[in-house]
Amino acid sequence: MEIPLIHFIHSIDAEHLLPLAHDNGYELHSIYQDDFRLPAAYSHHTKNKSSTRIRCYRLEKKN
Inform me whether the pLDDT recorded for 1 exceeds 80: no
Kindly report the pTM of this predicted structure: 0.80
pLDDT (0 to 100) of residue 3:
95
- Strand spans (E) along 4-48: 5-11, 26-39
pLDDT (0 to 100) of residue 46:
84
- Give the tens place of pLDDT for each residue, 3-56: 999 999 999 999 999 999 999 999 999 999 999 998 888 888 888 888 999 999
Contacts for 31 with CB less than 8 Å, ≥ 6 apart: 7, 56, 57, 58
Give the count of beta carbons closer than 10 Å to the beta carbon of residue 58.
Answer: 15
